[in-house]
Amino acid sequence: MKKKLSCMASVLLAASLTACSGGGQEAATTAAPETTTAAPTTAAATTAAETTEAGALTAGTYTASKPGMNGQVTVEVVTDDSSIVSVEVTGNQETPGIGSPLVDGEKEGTIPTISIPAAIVENQTVAVDAVAGATITSAAVKSAVEDCLSQAGANLDDWKTPVEKAAPQEIDMEADVVVVGGGGAGLAAAISASQNGAKVIIVEKNGAVGGDTLVCGAIYNNPDEELQSKVEMSDAVKKTLEAGIAVTPVDDAHKELIDTVAAEWKQYKADGKTTLFDSEAWFTLQTYNGGDNVAELPLVKVLCENAIAGYDWIQELGMEFNDTIGQGAGSLWQRTHTSTKPMGTGFISTYVENIAADANIQMVTSTTATRLIQDDTGRVTGVEAEDVNGNTYKFQASKGVVLATGGFAANSKMVNEYNTTGKWDDLSKVPTTNRFGCSQGDGIIMAQEIGAALSQMEQIQLLYLGNVKDGGLTKYPARCVNGTDQEIFINKNGERFVREDGRRDEICLQVLKQPDAMFYFLESADGDYTDVKTALTADGFTFQEMEEQGYIIIADTLDEMAEKLGCDAETLKATVDTFNASVDSGEDEFGRTLYSVKLENGPFVATPRQACLHHTMGGVKIDTEGRVLDESGAPIEGLVAAGEITGGIHGGNRLGGNAVVDTVVFGKLAGETITK
């Protein structure tokens, strides 16, 4: 049977409960022990285990908890004597947008804490499929329901009948623009295209949109005169700028940029200003220099010169940022803005809320694009795809396709194939911060199959923020990502080993040399928060929860901290004393230039971390309008790309906070270009 649906079709056949086709949820973390509680509504429940009739149950209300992605998932099941009356997840700590709802009343996509219970009740079986991209949470919900059924005296085999599925169909859908990938760049492109009058279909292989943007550090770089005017510029920070304009230019364009910043800096000093200097040119120069001058400077200019406009645009959509400026991990300058919501949930919820209110945009989830469609002239006119129920799709796009499928840091085969610079040793066993259902390089492969050129695929980034349990970019104090001025990095011996405000690659290379290739962020009660009992991690967990699960260590004194870390107390205290002296003098043994507080007052917090695969700077080659180029340098008609799938923007080292800028700036640009 072949079925044809318009862009505005009301039923999303692909957004069903399905097994994940592109990989699972982020790797599981250690959770609290399993707990089980029965609260039967009748006394007969005490003899439930004696029930033998097929499918029979003892009526009652039962609860059970099983370990999910971030902690216990608690389920309440109500039964009568022969059926499951209701299933409800009553408590969980799962990641918003993946395991739990991103926004109240969320209707787009498939969220396991909502959809799995509904499917179990509808089908009267626990043998429902997992949600693509959230298999761990899905398994926790189903396991807890099984526990409850056991309490009700069920023979579990009677409640594991597979759900009968409809025969696969061929489905045609039409729109002006098809966006492949529902991460930050794809959602920005879809909204931008709609703002420019297009009808849009978003094709996302996971059960819900968000991609790796959902679990990112949520920091955004751009010059901000209002906030930066509140920051005094220290002599040490001035040295960073002066070193930046003292580099030897690699070509005339680089020299022109250096000269522009030098002139701005000269005028700034002539005006007698003392607050933090910044400009679009300095942002561009730092990004280019920080990427080892191998990026394509015209693309760097698009990124940095449009960062302020992108910042304003996403705020107009409803995005909220904190009202302070900081220096994000590896961002190299105090121009970092931080979301008011945990991780990337602020960005994605902003996009989702706008899309939900936009009749011109439709999401199709749990569906993986497999091939780009071209007409006889070579123009890209659509995408073929398949959902996890076996339905095949042809998404026709009258204006063209936006590829926004991310990079390939979670694809170890591709990483090892392109890891050729000599910077990194064997990366085959290095964990990734990325979700395994994302960053597989599939969009790059599809583009390459129709002749797209690739750019700088060998440029691979590690990040030192991965937890030591599974590498996930989760469960760390907020200052770890945007508080470089308030912490130090120590190894297992209690010694500093690197400048904390340096480049990401330089820090990671040093981390890999430390005992067990790990280190600790060490911070104190000085600075942003003084009460760790009320502080929250970057993803919204209490410090107490994280200490109980082993993600952080809290100690009232350095002696106690040394004992908990297993290092020499005198070594640790000497390390802190030396750093505190550097705060006073402005001179640091490792060349650090950014300070704000001494580490003096307990409690102290240590966060164990490791260097993990994080971002791939290479990808399909694009021009300054986001058009994908072929091997001859000509645009492939009808095809644009945005986000981490592209190459040439960041060079040999991406500055922290620039990835989200990339998704906003080039996502918005892609939507504009494809609708022209």
Contact criterion met (CB below 8 Å) for 522 and 571: no
Sign, CA dihedral 304-308-313-315, equals positive
Residue 247 and residue 3: Cα distance in Å, rounded? Answer: 61
Residue 340 and residue 151: Cα distance in Å, rounded? Answer: 42
Q: Which of 117, 138, 121 is nearest to 129 (CA)?
A: 138
Residue 640 and residue 304: Cα distance in Å, rounded? Answer: 20
586 CB-near residues (< 8 Å, 6+ apart): 234, 235, 236, 595
671 CB-near residues (< 8 Å, 6+ apart): 177, 188, 189, 190, 191, 192, 193, 194, 195, 196, 198, 402
Q: Which of 221, 241, 244 is nearest to 304 (CA)?
A: 221
Beta bridge partners of 392: 170, 386
Q: 546 burial class (0-12, 13-18, 19+ CB within 10 angstroms)?
A: buried
What is the token pair recorded at 482? 């945007």
Residue 138 and residue 131: Cα distance in Å, rounded? Answer: 6
Of the residues 504, 592, 609, 654, which is catalytic? 504
Residues in the chain: 676
**Torsion angle of the four alpha carbons 426, 427, 431, 434, in this order, in degrees rounded to the nearest 10:** 180
Sign, CA dihedral 510-514-519-521, equals negative
- 3-class SS at 19? coil
DSSP designation for 425:
-
Residue 457 and residue 521: Cα distance in Å, rounded? Answer: 31
Sign, CA dihedral 316-318-324-325, equals negative
Q: Which residue do the tokens 């009568």 mark?
A: 80
Residue 426 and residue 207: Cα distance in Å, rounded? Answer: 33
Backbone angles phi, psi at 384, to 5 degrees: -95, 145
504 among known catalytic residues: yes
Q: Which of 417, 414, 442, 454 is nearest to 647 (CA)?
A: 454
Contact criterion met (CB below 8 Å) for 84 and 76: no
Residue 283 and residue 278: Cα distance in Å, rounded? Answer: 7
Q: Which H or E run contains 482?
A: helix 479-482
Give me the active site residues, please.
Answer: 504
